[in-house]
Amino acid sequence: MPRAHHRPPAPARAKLLPLLCAATLAVGGLTTLAVTAQADTVTGNLLANPGLETGSLSPWSCSAGAGSVVNSGAHSGTYALKGAVGNSDTAQCTQTVTVQPSTKYSLSAWVQGNYVYLGATGAGVTDPATWTPGGSGWQQLSTSFTTGPSTTSVNIYLHGWYGQGAYLADDLVLSGPGGTPPSSPPPSSPSSSPSPSSSPTGSPSSPPPNVAVPVAPYVDMGAWPVPVLKDMAAGGNLKSFTLAFVTAVGCKASWFNAYDPKAGWAKDQIDALRAAGGDVKISFGGEAGTELAQACTDVTSLFNEYDAVVNAYNLKYIDFDIEGAAVADHAANDRRSAALAKLQAAHPGLKVSLTLPVLPEGLTSDGVSIVQSARNAGVNVDVVNVMAMDYGRPNTNYGDAAVQAAQSTHDQIKALYPARTDAQLWAMTGVTPMLGENDDHQIYNQAAAQQLVAFAKQHHLGVLGFWEESRDANACTGALFKCTNIPQTPYEFSKIFAQYTG
């Protein structure tokens, strides 16, 4: 794609662009408290305060202060955990537990509410998340996982789902070797409680409803004049955007090689968008910039740069646009994975999306390797977002190709996460086409956008995006960095995509 005209002193604009013909181308502030268990051979409940019978939350820690202990309606005993789910927070509650490497553990909890999740994350652990679509009474969730060869601790978590109301949890059990059972075990369940065999676990009849950020088009923050996010949101009936791109100047984070994100550049824009009910993802990388994982030579310095950006903007969502030569840089990709696992440990609930090359047949082999690297490092990948554009194939229907790419990617993710339900796999799948004329001069038109929105509604995709919001606003004919070059009204594509709510 042609480069945008920048305001000084930006020397270059990092921009979403796949390699032609190869298609190169989801909560901050939660502090997890460690619970150290003495290693021994006892098999028992490794969780502390598993039934909340201390009357306090500790050592459970919940996002945005959304957790509390209540003394009515418990599954057994006196107390239960209550998660106050909101429209922008799932009320994730977490406890960190010491475990042994290469060991199988069983995890269960009694829960009440709509779309309540139970799972575990940690280095070398494939998240065994299970969930219930809800019901009026208590239901037991049960799952298991095996730790990796170097796993020494895991984060046990519970959360609800956006806008689905509060949930209750009680009588959690993590069983296996590696810790001392808590001094006050949970009271036994009354005989009148429903039996585990009668409770639906792990295979809900319908997927979760609205995701937090169902539509997040990319905004080229290096464009001139400066994009006004609040105006774009109002013009296109949108709430949220993915802001592009944070790149590297040496091993230092930079907005498109020009402005320091640690100083909060454009934070006033983000604050205004949030005040209007929206939010942002900040995207690292892009076609024309160097992603920090390539510039930083060790995990600690890389983590420090990511962490500084998350803190500067109080981020709940981050995106990594990995394209061009960066896709095949396995050392950098493994560094990124290790740093992201550390970042999520520092910010439990932080949503990570990977934006990757795709063909209609699916991710490239290097793209699959990036997801696998993240999984193996213990990163909880929220969305694998594919750049459904610039295939370099003449006479290709780009509407059909985007849908095919989504289906193919879903199938590839399934091979990497075999324990996940089909609904969970679709929630991990995101699609980002390029509006109007692509760089290979093929066209993605309004009918293609409607087709993708219908497909997303059918399968409840994790996110829809597009490149790029300023082009949709300009609705012009001219240079591709600022025009779609097809007949349209301003924000026409935005209004189509806004029909998707999760």
Distance CA 126, CA 173 (A): 19
- The pTM assigned to this predicted structure is 0.64
Neighbours of 165 (CB within 10 A): 14
Give which of 26, 12, 16 is closest to 467, Cα–Cα: 16
pLDDT in tens, 49-82: 999 999 999 999 998 788 999 998 899 999 999 9
Give which of 487, 471, 421 is closest to 117, Cα–Cα: 421
Are 144 and 231 in a shared domain? no
Are 84 and 150 in a shared domain? yes
Strand partners, 281: 242
Are 263 and 386 in a shared domain? yes
Are 124 and 264 in a shared domain? no
Q: Which residue has the tokens 């997927």?
A: 207
CATH, residue 328? 3.20.20.80
Residue 382: inside a domain: yes
Instruction: Report how many domains make up the chain.
Output: 2
Active site residue 305: no
Domain end: 186, 202, 233, which one?
186
Residue 354: inside a domain: yes
Query: Which of 323, 437, 468, 469 is labelled catalytic?
Result: 323
Kindly report whether the peptide bond that precedes residue 225 is cis, defined as omega within 30 degrees of 0. yes
Distance CA 449, CA 232 (A): 18
Are 166 and 249 in a shared domain? no
Torsion of CA 117, 63, 185, 103, to 10 degrees: 60
- Three-state DSSP state, 63: helix
User: What pLDDT, on a 0 to 100 scale, did the predictor assign at position 88?
Assistant: 64
Domain end: 186, 207, 231, which one?
186
Cα 272 off chain centre by: 23
Are 43 and 176 in a shared domain? yes
Residue 99: inside a domain: yes
Q: Dihedrals φ, ψ of 433, to 5°?
A: -85, 170
3-class secondary structure per residue, 478-493: CCCCCCCCCCCCCCHH
DSSP 282-308: EEEE-SSS--HHHH--SHHHHHHHHHH
The amino acid that residue 201 corresponds to is: T
Are 98 and 238 in a shared domain? no
Are 182 and 225 in a shared domain? no
CATH, residue 61? 2.60.120.260
Which structural domain range is residue 484 located in?
218-497
> Dmax over Cα atoms in the chain, in whole Å?
73
**Helical segments of 420-491, H only:** 422-427, 446-459, 469-474
User: What pLDDT, on a 0 to 100 scale, did the predictor assign at position 132?
Assistant: 84
The answer to whether 247 and 14 are in contact (CB under 8 A) is yes
The answer to whether 495 and 238 are in contact (CB under 8 A) is no
Q: Are strands 80-83 and 167-176 parallel, antiparallel or unpaired?
A: antiparallel
User: What pLDDT, on a 0 to 100 scale, did the predictor assign at position 357?
Assistant: 93
Residue 212: inside a domain: no
Are 171 and 262 in a shared domain? no
Are 123 and 224 in a shared domain? no
Are 181 and 250 in a shared domain? no
Give which of 270, 347, 358, 337 is closest to 308, Cα–Cα: 347
The answer to whether 358 and 323 are in contact (CB under 8 A) is no
Residue 333: inside a domain: yes
Are 136 and 238 in a shared domain? no
Residue 502: inside a domain: no
Residue 204: inside a domain: no
How does pLDDT run along the chain (502 residues), one tens digit per residue?
333 333 333 333 333 433 333 333 333 332 333 333 333 333 479 999 999 999 999 999 998 788 999 998 899 999 999 999 886 678 899 999 999 999 999 999 999 998 898 999 887 777 788 888 767 799 999 999 999 888 899 999 999 887 788 999 999 999 998 744 333 333 333 333 333 333 433 333 333 333 479 999 999 999 988 899 999 999 999 999 999 999 999 999 999 999 999 999 999 999 999 999 999 999 999 998 899 999 999 999 999 999 999 999 999 999 999 999 999 999 999 999 999 999 999 999 999 999 999 999 999 999 999 999 999 999 999 999 999 999 999 999 999 999 999 999 999 999 999 999 999 999 999 999 999 999 999 999 999 999 999 999 999 999 999 999 999 999 999 999 999 999 999 999 999 999 999 9
